[in-house]
Amino acid sequence: MIYRECGVFKTSYAADMALYRAPLAKVAVAAVAVFCVVVVPLGSNDHLLSLANLVGIAVVGAIGLNILTGFTGQISIGHGAFMAVGGYTAAILSARYGMPFWVGLIAGGALAAVVGTFFGIPSLRIKGLYLAIATLAAQFIIEWAINHITWISGGVQSTIYVPKPSLGGVLLNSERKKYYMILVVAALSYVFAMNLVRSRVGRAFMAIRDRDVAAEIIGVDIFAYKLLAFAISSFYAGVAGALFTYYLEIANYEQFTITVSVQYLAMIIIGGLGSVLGSVFGAIFITLLPIVLRWVVEGAWGLFAPPTSAMLDVLANLRLIVFGGLVIFFLILEPDGLYRLWRHVKDYFRVWPFAY
């Protein structure tokens, strides 16, 4: 968040580790909170709100993946599948057993954590690219299981319709009400992650990321912490998947394919590996990219000809090209992603206008 440290002197370690490191930070956080709670829902129409909702869901998933990949250094290409576990768990609990949505949310997260931990077991022996490939296998195996076990998928086209979520007697039936549901979950995810990464557990994660053998030598129980990272990350994924399911009111495996896993990886790379705020930036960026692209292409196409189906083909291909191109671009030119750019901006304004 934007704040200036002038005249702020820390006299204890606790102050140095605090979430709000300067008095002004509280004001900034309050401003963001007001923006999210009041300005966004009241100032935008249903279309914009639906975008905000998709961003919110992506934020939860991206923070989860960043805890695993950015902070612990374990690459996962199965994030989409772990979201599917959460999504289908929530759908089955709500649609078949009439559970309220918060039960589905937590149960979805919990089951995804169990499954994720199971697929994290190979991480004891293998790492880096081998682990990436193992999680890729998780993606395909889970996808297959959902599609071919009728009890899970509910038969035809692996689709389960979910009743509208309700909380305390209020039916969450509009974009605006769902926005608040998603906002609360996303905010909790953010705060939990911020606190996690400055705790003992978070430091253990980073030690494993930076050099796992060295971490083991200084007494970090690698296996336990790796599994914990998988569990937390998959819990986030499961919650995101459940949230998505309640938001769409339908559970469908096509929302959770390998493309989705790759998109989440792109989010944390473009946003910034090992940064919670970066995950938010990345989630916003990748979620809005296709919409902005469509807007641009429609505008450019409209100059010459009316929109046709040929335009949609071009758009679909262009989306892939721009997406892949941006990932490569960021990897080569700005490996720390949008978070680093944000830091540059902040550093500039830190002593502005007296830059000496």
Binding site for another protein (CB under 8 A): 69, 73, 75, 121-122, 125-126, 128-130, 132-134, 136-138, 140-141, 144, 147-148, 211-214, 217, 262, 265-266, 269, 273, 313-314, 316-321, 323-328, 331-332, 335
CA 259 to chain CA centroid, Å, is: 14
Extended beta strands in 168-281, E state: 170-171, 250-252
**Residue nearer to another protein on the CB measure, 14 or 213:** 213
Q: How far is CA 237 from CA 43, 105, 175, 332, 335, in A?
A: 30, 11, 22, 28, 24
CA 96 to chain CA centroid, Å, is: 28
Contacts of 312 (CB under 8 A, 6+ apart): none
- Give the shortest CB-331-to-another protein separation in angstroms: 5
- Give the shortest CB-273-to-another protein separation in angstroms: 7
In contact, 322 and 307? CB cutoff 8 Å = no
**Residue nearer to another protein on the CB measure, 99 or 222:** 222
CA 341 to chain CA centroid, Å, is: 20
- Give the shortest CB-296-to-another protein separation in angstroms: 16
**Residue nearer to another protein on the CB measure, 150 or 173:** 150
CA atoms within 13 A on the CB side of 142: 32
- d(C-alpha 208, C-alpha 101), whole Å: 36
**Residue nearer to another protein on the CB measure, 42 or 218:** 218
With 0-12 / 13-18 / 19 or more C-beta atoms within 10 angstroms meaning exposed / middle / buried, residue 29 is middle
- Give the shortest CB-213-to-another protein separation in angstroms: 5
Q: What b/e readout covers 242-269, taking b as 16+ CB neighbours within 10 angstroms?
A: bbbbbbbbbbbbebbbbebbbbbbbbbb
**Residue nearer to another protein on the CB measure, 109 or 337:** 337
- d(C-alpha 193, C-alpha 299), whole Å: 40
- H-helix or E-strand spanning residue 266: helix 258-271
**Residue nearer to another protein on the CB measure, 138 or 240:** 138
- Give the shortest CB-88-to-another protein separation in angstroms: 17
**Residue nearer to another protein on the CB measure, 23 or 335:** 335
H helices of 21-172, where? Answer: 23-34, 40-43, 46-65, 79-97, 101-120, 129-148, 150-153
**Residue nearer to another protein on the CB measure, 101 or 253:** 253
- Give the shortest CB-160-to-another protein separation in angstroms: 18
- Give the shortest CB-210-to-another protein separation in angstroms: 11
Let me know how many helices (H) and strands (E) the chain has, helices first.
Answer: 16, 4
- Give the shortest CB-211-to-another protein separation in angstroms: 7
